[in-house]
């Protein structure tokens, strides 16, 4: 007796399950409403990420190609895995005549960065921030080492070094 009730029960539970999957199959086939799988974003150019999305660390520049970084190296010290190297130098400030530190290169190793955000938090002048780019595919890992200050950029006036 239990043999037959097993068969009937088994078929019944199977059909209940298939009603769920079948429902999605037909509804989605006709309405394309709940389509849940998609290709790797092929709308990369137009895709908008959430505004807090952590893609990479970038340095903010204004329209005159000026940044706010005064090479204080606090971000370098805050980073848990040495992803940031600051190359700074000293030069005479023409206004005050004192020696002043300035940034030569802000080197950022994206391949080592864990997106922890400690560098951005540590920066006293908000010179760096999150960038939204997530498409970091390269054939060579050395290409992921970036210089964050743009070529020819200099420090904004009013930031004390």
Partner 1 sequence: MKEFLTDQLKTQEYFLNMGPQHPATHGVLRLLLKLDGEIVRNVDMDLGYIHRSIEKMCERATYKQIIHLTDRLDYLSAHMNNEAVCLLAEKALNIEVNDRIKIIRTIMDELTRISSHVLWWGVTGMDIGAITTFMYGFRERELINDIFEETCGTRLTMNYNVIGGLRYDIHENFVKRTKDILTHLKKKLPEYDKLLTNNIIFQKRLINIGVISVEDAIAYGLNGPTARGSGVSCDIRKTHPYSAYDMVDFEEAIFTEGDSFARYKVRIKEMWESISIIEQLIDKIPNDEHKVKTKAVIKLPVGDFLQRVEASRGDFGVYVKSNGQKFPERLKFRSPGFANLTALNKMAYGLKIADLVAILSTIDVVVPDIDR
Residue numbers at the binding site for partner 1 (CB under 8 A): 6, 9-10, 13-14, 16-17, 19-21, 36-37, 50, 52-54, 78, 80, 114-118, 121, 130
Q: Check if the beta carbon of residue 106 is closer than 8 Å to that of residue 59.
A: yes
Report what 20 binds from partner 1, ligand SF4, none; CB cut-off 5-8 Å by kind: partner 1
116 binds ligand SF4 (CB under 6 A): yes
Q: Pick from 86, 100, 153, 155: which binds ligand SF4 (CB under 6 A)?
A: 86
Closest CA to 88 of 102, 69, 108, 99: 102
CB of 43 to partner 1, least distance (A): 17
Yes or no: say if 101 and 161 are a contact pair by the CB < 8 Å rule. Answer: yes
Residue tagged 């970036």 (tokens) = 146
Using alpha carbons, select from 160, 147, 158 the residue that is nearest to residue 58. Answer: 147
Considering only the stretches 13-21, 43-51, 65-73, 131-139, report the one whose residues sit in contact with ligand SF4 under the rule CB under 6 A. 65-73
């Amino acid at each position: 007796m239990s043999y037959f009730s097993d068969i009937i029960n088994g078929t019944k539970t199977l059909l209940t399950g298939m009603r769920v999957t079948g429902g999605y199959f037909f509804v989605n086939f006709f309405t394309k409403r709940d389509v849940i799988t998609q290709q790797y974003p092929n709308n990369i150019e137009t895709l908008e990420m959430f505004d807090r999305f952590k893609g990479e660390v970038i340095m903010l520049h204004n329209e005159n190609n000026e940044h706010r970084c005064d090479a204080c190296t606090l971000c370098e010290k805050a980073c848990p895995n040495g992803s940031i190297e600051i190359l700074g130098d000293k030069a005479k400030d023409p206004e005050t005549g004192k020696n002043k530190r300035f940034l030569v290169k802000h080197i950022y190793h994206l391949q080592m960065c864990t997106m922890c955000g400690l560098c951005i938090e540590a920066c006293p002048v908000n010179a760096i921030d999150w960038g939204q780019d997530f498409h970091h595919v390269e054939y060579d890992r050395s290409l992921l080492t970036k210089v964050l200050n743009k070529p020819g950029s200099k420090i904004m006036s009013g930031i004390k070094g």
